[in-house]
Structure 1
């Protein structure tokens, strides 16, 4: 049985933040990332002119990320063995 080091992107919502999916797909190729699950979209008042992705809080087995673009926010849950610093490094590399 061959083991793939590639993570998995879970498609549980029909809508995603513009430009987010290609970045999440790149993150699944990083060693140590097991599962990436985008959460639901919500609207905010402030405007973010370009896509931002930041590590928010630790969750069991990984981290919650906040993705922002325009007046829309989306939570992203990542199950990983990476440290917060390692994850932030990969995110900045792909943004």
Structure 2
């Protein structure tokens, strides 16, 4: 961890509350190059606490799902990290 060569791409006007601040901490990891929040949607089930979990691998990284309340948002991460190391990095930024 150290250099901040990674970036968070803000191409949508709406984000789950607290998502961007957590992504900005996550992108400081040396192995993460780009984080792009994607489509936001409403769902029936309620998630009282903020959650961010790895969904599926994509070319060059992973798709994550962020949840808070009745809102979900896709997040795309370009990284060389293995999935278990990415999940550990995510756990660190969610705790803070």
Please report how far the alpha carbon of residue 6 of structure 1 lies from its aligned counterpart in structure 2 after TM superposition: 2.6
SS state at 1:15 partner: coil
Largest Rg, 1 or 2 = 1
Gaps spanning 5+ residues in structure 1: where? none
Aligned length: 92
Give the gaps of 5 or more residues in structure 2. Answer: none
Q: Which aligned runs of 4 or more in structure 1 are off by greater than 4 angstroms?
A: none
Determine the structure 1 residue equivalent to 2:75.
Answer: 76
Instruction: Give the TM-score normalised by structure 2.
Output: 0.93
**Aligned-partner Cα distance in 2 for 1:13–1:42:** 12
Secondary structure of the structure 1 residue equivalent to 2:25: helix
2:28 counterpart residue number: 29
TM-score by length of 1: 0.94
